[in-house]
Amino acid sequence: MTQTILSSLSRAERLSIAGTYSLTLLENLCMLAYPAITGWAVDGLLKGSYRGLSALIAVWLVHLVMAFVRQRFDTRVFMGLYARFAVLTVAEQKRLGHGTSIVSARVAMMRDMVGFFEADVPAMFSQVVTVVGSLVMLFTYDLEAGFIAMAVLLPMGLVNAWYWRRALRLHRGLNDQIEREIEDIEAARPLRLRRHFGRVRRWHVQLSDSESWTWTVTELATIVALVILLLDFTRSPAFSAGAIYAVLAYVFDYLDGLDSAPALVNNVARLRDIRARLGG
């Protein structure tokens, strides 16, 4: 969103957005607690205790209620924002003297931007909570496992920094082409249309190829870390059955969180270019 649109949010709209994000954060905290509580439940059941199982059921029910409320609430909030911001976008772009092709493209970009705040920001919450929370829990169970998991952050950070710079350039080129789409369609010249959609295809292919390389490097690093982690803690006699389950679950949650980083980098790069366009 541009600064103008952000400043136009009413207090009720700000509170509604904060409410959706708060529910998302609470959902993620429940999900972070699942492996530890499940491990507790497993160890308890092996000893004839049901306290851990009762705690697991309680957290599960709380999570269920929050997810139900959030899913019904966030669509109403963000689609209401889009309806209002789309009108503001048309008025602002017309005032700046842009033609129909650019105005239409930027209204679609506004929809993408609102969608980013509806879907991608909660995904960012989830990724941060998952990665940081899982890493903290791994340190809690085993210091060596925590340090092994941390080592993955270096190659992941380097490759995603490269992808960030490339994605910014590619989205700039793609959005430049999209803003000319209606003009090309109205011209209805086969050669011009083939050239336009061919260029759109090339931008998308380059973005996809770059993301796939980034994901592959991240995945290779996580595979190495996973193998080392499995060899490390499964050889230790200190872990109970429940603890082994919890550590495995946190390892996979942590690595899954890292695997989703390239998609997040791509979405944030796209948003940055859109913000620059909608800002004037």
162: pLDDT confidence band, cut at 50, 70 and 90? very high
Residue 2's pLDDT is 45
Q: What is the pLDDT of residues 103-148, one digit of tens each?
A: 777 777 777 778 778 888 888 888 888 889 989 988 988 888 888 8
C-alpha to C-alpha distances, 169 to 162, 206, 265, nearest whole angstrom: 11, 11, 13
Residues 233, 148: Cα–Cα separation, whole Å:
11
Chain centroid offset of residue 186 CA: 36
Look at residues 277, 265, 257, 262 and name the one whose alpha carbon lies nearest to residue 113: 277
* Domain limits, the chain: 11-278
Contact 251, 135 (CB under 8 A): no
This prediction has a pTM of 0.71
Examine the pLDDT at 270 and tell me if it is beyond 80: yes
215-224, Cβ contacts within 8 angstroms, sequence gap of 24 or more: 215/259, 215/262, 217/155, 217/156, 217/159, 218/155, 218/156, 218/159, 218/160, 218/258, 218/259, 218/261, 218/262, 219/259, 221/152, 221/155, 221/156, 222/152, 222/255, 222/258, 222/259
- The per-residue pLDDT of the chain, averaged, comes to 83
Residue 228's pLDDT is 84
Residue 234's pLDDT is 66
For the domain 11-278, what is the CATH code? 1.20.1560.10
